[in-house]
Structure formats: C-alpha cells, structure tokens
C-alpha cells in the first residue's frame, strides 16, 4: 500500500492545488510512482478522462505532474455549482443528480465507501499519494461530517502540511488560528507549515518563524515565493478572469473578448491564447468591451438558460449579434454553442428548467436530456464553409462535457459554422498549435493584414515546462528532508 501526504490550507486560495502538483512532480523526478487524490472537489473547470469520466481540472493537472493518466479515482466526488445553493453531484466520474447544499451535507458520509475504494485502487499502483484538502480544515460547523480535510486525514492516516497564503497579509494569524482550532489529535498530524506566495526579502521574515514556533511547536517546511506560473486553474477566483487585457506582446494584432458568464466553466480553453505574442485577450461582462474585438468567445457554462438570459439583460446579446454581421468572428464553445442557436429547451429541469430563445446565429436547437455527454474527441476538421474552409483537414482533439444535445451533424466532429459564426462542443479546441495558428491567420486576412504569423507552443508542451519550473522552485524553497520524514521514507 502507498504512503501518503496531505496538503491542507488555511483557506481557499492558499495554493493547495499548485503545491500538490509541484510536490508530485518533485517526487516523480526522484523516482517514485505517485498520484494525486482529492476526495471532494467543487469546481466548474473540469476534465474528461479517457474512459469518459469527469473530474476536477486540478486533478488532471496533478496527474500530468505525476506523469500518469488522469482517472476518476483521483477525484471521486466533484460538485459543479449551478446556483448559490445547488450543485450537480458527480460520483466516480458520473453525475448522480442535482442537490441542494443542505441535502448533500446530510448524505455525503454515505459516499465514504466510494472515497475509500478509489483511494485503495490508486494505492495499489503507487508508492506515494499526495492528497489535497479543500478550503479550510477548521470550519467547526462542518467538522462532524468532514470527508475532505482532517476527517479524511484520519481515515487515511495521513500526515499533513498546512499552507497559508501571505499575499493578502495576516499569514501568521491564519496559521495559528487554524492550528488552535484543531483538536489535539488533528494538531499532531500537522508535520510542517508552509508560507506560500511570498514576495520580498526572506531574511526579513525568518525571525518571525522562530518566534512563531513558540506558539504552536510545529516546524516550518518552507517559504515558497510568489511565482507567475502559467498552469491551468479551476477556480472562479482566478486572476485570469479579471477585467483587464492580457497581452502576449506590447503590439496588439488581434483582440479577443471572452464573455465572463456568471456560471462560466472550462475557461482553461483560452489559456493558450493569453500568451501568444500579438494577441490581446480580455474577460468581460461589459457590452462596450466587445465592440472592437476581432473574436468574441462565448465560453462553456453550468447554467445555459440563466446565462443566456443574462446575456440579454446585460446588453451583450445585442452587441454579439451586431458583431457577427461585421468582421468579428463569434465563437461559441459548449454552452456557448447552445446559446448561438435558435432555441434552448430544459423541460426536465436539469439546469433549472424552462426554455428560451438563443441568439439565432446558428440553425440549431438544443434539448437537455438526462444523459450527460462525457468523452474525449479526436478527428479531422471537416464541413466548415465561407472564410473558414482552410481549417478543414486539420487535426483537432479535446473533450466534451454537456447535458444538452443539438440537432447538428456530429458524425465526424461536433463543429459547425455559418458565415462569421463558429460553434463547437469541443473543449481544448485552441490547444492544437497548428489549428489555432490557422484560425488567427484567417482573422488577420479578414482585417486586411497579410503574411502575419504567430509563435504558438502546443499547450501540452507548455504545461510540462511549467510543471518542471514549479518543481525547481519547490526544491529550492521547501525542506524535502522534513517532507520525506513526514511521509515515512
């Protein structure tokens, strides 16, 4: 059976997911067979495994760090929020229904056998499992039914590293308050503390570490500097979604506006676009921001009807329709594709219920049904028309996650276009450097720009380099002798 280590944080945003990925990469570089594990995740940015199961995006990134294939065993419970109090509940990669928070809280301990079984399967194939907690481990009102923090650490007999984010300030209070709210048994599991996202001169902080030890007698495992990494994220609090231009270079050739839907999901689709020299990208909720865009993207969503109604209320719907009759390319991905159609019908209340008209830019209607489409998709682009025929014949791959089905030809690839409107169910469609480059060149040609080329690196290669860079940072900043001792190696 595997040994293990658990990464907990003082709060959401402490950096648990990235620390887990980096530690996994270090352990893998050191020759160990490793795997990530998060018993319960809440995220709208998800991933589909090769066998058609849905997991949190962070666990897919962590699997890449561990250099293994992602599986639903790495994230046996995934919650996808559909509103303030309701989430779709996914167990072992398959949705089991929509639940109100109070109902899920009452039943979640029934899922412990699923958690343990998933962990045991991973344990048979690995030397070390690095477990990620969620939020804070000392939400005292949630402790009784905890299945993701100290409750899980106790079930799996896992040593814990506790991380605090110094960036907003108050990290010593975060750490001490968290430790003091733990029971004696829980506190004994904490083998080291981590100060994460530190900017500045470490020597100025070190006296505080010695002083702090007098309060809780737990050693520090390290101070991790703030690093501007370009790794895929899953949380809606991501800095990527701030309303500002992200430029690959000072000279803007193409401007892309991604509509920041209230229930936006899988925005990692656009990571590759944010680092291309000559491309500027903005996430926006403002109609004025899309008027000068060369490409407007309506991304995926976990509540298509609510977000479609929001598009109208915000004034964005009218601006998108106007833009489609000009030179701008309008792209819809997954839920965004559904919104580009003529009608959306959710008669079985799978995403809140009801029906509404779409933008009417593509000749499709969408009907929600109980079977969720979860699959990886790979093929050759075919059937595109107008200015986009030169994309036909290019290889493309990605994955699909959607409840609705649309009346379009999906025999080859679920992609279609009509004049300046382009829609697909495929997430990750921009990750292929060749197809992405060709699409940007088409946009330049429509703008009258000749012989423009773009320097684009494949997303997979880029992510590998970033994970190695993260591992280098953690080797320099964490005490791996302490970490290996905590693991028991």
| Count of CB atoms situated within 10 Å of the CB of 441 | 18
Q: Closest by alpha carbon to 406, among 342, 324, 357, 352?
A: 342
Helix (H) or strand (E) holding 186: helix 184-189
Structure tokens at 339: 């919104």
Phi, psi of 377 (to 5 degrees): -125, 135
Structure tokens at 221: 């495992």
Query: Is position 334 annotated as part of the catalytic site?
Result: yes
Annotated active-site residue in 334, 402, 436, 444: 334
Structure tokens at 27: 């352990």
Measure the CA–CA gap between 290 and 422, rounded to whole angstroms: 17
Helices then strands, counting H and E runs in the chain, come out as 14, 25
Query: Is position 462 annotated as part of the catalytic site?
Result: no
Return the biggest CA–CA distance within the chain: 71
Task: Give the list of residues 6+ apart from residue 157 with CB closer than 8 angstroms, or none.
Answer: 4
Measure the CA–CA gap between 255 and 257, rounded to whole angstroms: 7
Helices in 413-458 by DSSP H: which ranges?
A: 433-446
Structure tokens at 162: 């506790």
Annotated active-site residue in 402, 427, 436, 444: 427
Measure the CA–CA gap between 432 and 449, rounded to whole angstroms: 23
Measure the CA–CA gap between 106 and 108, rounded to whole angstroms: 6
Q: Tell me if 162 sits within 8 A of 45, measured CB to CB.
A: no
DSSP structural state of residue 347: T
Measure the CA–CA gap between 112 and 124, rounded to whole angstroms: 19
Helix (H) or strand (E) holding 58: helix 57-66
Edge-first strand order for the sheet with 3-9 is: 34-37, 128-132, 3-9, 160-165, 190-198, 220-225
Q: Tell me if 394 sits within 8 A of 381, measured CB to CB.
A: yes
- Following CA atoms 65, 261, 345, 388 in sequence, which dihedral angle do they give, to the nearest 10 degrees? -70
The sign of the CA dihedral 59, 62, 68, 74 is: negative
Measuring CA to CA, how many Å separate 346 from each of 149, 350, 364, 401? 36, 6, 15, 16
Question: Which residues are the active-site residues?
Answer: 334, 427
């Amino acid at each position: 059976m595997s040994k293990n280590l658990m990464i907990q944080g003082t709060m959401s945003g402490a950096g648990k997911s990235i620390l887990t990925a980096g530690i996994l990469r270090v352990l893998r570089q050191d020759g160990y067979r490793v795997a990530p594990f998060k018993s319960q995740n809440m995220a709208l940015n998800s991933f589909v495994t090769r066998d058609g199961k849905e997991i949190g995006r962070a666990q897919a990134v962590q699997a890449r760090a561990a250099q293994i294939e992602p599986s639903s065993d790495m994230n046996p419970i995934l919650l996808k929020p559909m509103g303030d109090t309701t989430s779709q509940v996914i167990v072992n990669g398959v949705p089991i229904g929509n639940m109100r928070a109070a109902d899920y809280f009452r039943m979640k301990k029934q899922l412990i056998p699923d958690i343990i079984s998933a962990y045991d399967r991973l344990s048979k194939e690995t030397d070390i499992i690095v477990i990620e907690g969620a939020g804070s481990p000392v939400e005292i009102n949630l402790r009784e039914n905890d299945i993701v923090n100290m409750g899980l650490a106790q079930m799996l007999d896992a040593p814990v590293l506790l991380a605090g984010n110094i960036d907003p300030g108050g990290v010593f209070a975060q750490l001490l308050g968290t430790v003091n709210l733990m029971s004696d048994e829980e506190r004994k599991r904490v083998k080291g503390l981590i100060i994460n996202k530190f900017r500045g001169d470490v020597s100025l902080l070190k006296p505080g570490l010695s002083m702090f030890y007098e309060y809780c007698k737990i050693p520090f495992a390290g101070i991790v500097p703030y690093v501007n990494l370009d790794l895929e994220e899953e949380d809606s609090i991501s800095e990527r979604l701030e309303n500002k231009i992200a430029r690959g270079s000072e000279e803007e050739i193409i401007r892309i506006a991604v509509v920041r839907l209230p229930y936006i999901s899988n925005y990692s689709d656009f990571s590759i676009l944010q680092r291309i020299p000559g491309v500027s990208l903005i996430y926006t909720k403002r109609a004025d921001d899309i008027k000068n865009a060369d490409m407007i993207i309506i991304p995926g969503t976990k509540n298509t009807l609510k977000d479609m109604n929001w598009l109208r209320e915000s004034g964005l719907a009218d601006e998108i329709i106007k833009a489609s009759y000009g030179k701008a390319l309008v792209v819809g991905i997954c839920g965004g594709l559904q919104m580009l159609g003529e009608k959306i019908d959710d008669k079985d209340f799978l995403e809140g219920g009801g029906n509404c008209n779409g933008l009417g830019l593509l000749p499709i209607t969408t009907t929600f049904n109980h079977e969720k489409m979860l699959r990886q998709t790979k093929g050759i682009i075919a059937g595109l028309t107008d200015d986009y025929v030169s994309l036909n014949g290019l290889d493309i791959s990605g994955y699909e996650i959607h409840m609705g089905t649309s009346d379009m030809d999906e025999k080859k690839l679920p992609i279609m276009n009509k004049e300046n409107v382009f829609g697909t169910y495929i997430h990750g469609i921009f990750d292929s450097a060749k197809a992405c480059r060709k699409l940007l060149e088409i946009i330049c040609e429509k703008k009258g720009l000749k012989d423009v080329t773009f320097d684009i690196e494949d997303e997979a290669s880029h992510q590998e380099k970033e994970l190695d860079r993260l591992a280098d940072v953690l080797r320099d900043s964490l005490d791996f002798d302490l970490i290996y001792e905590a693991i028991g190696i």
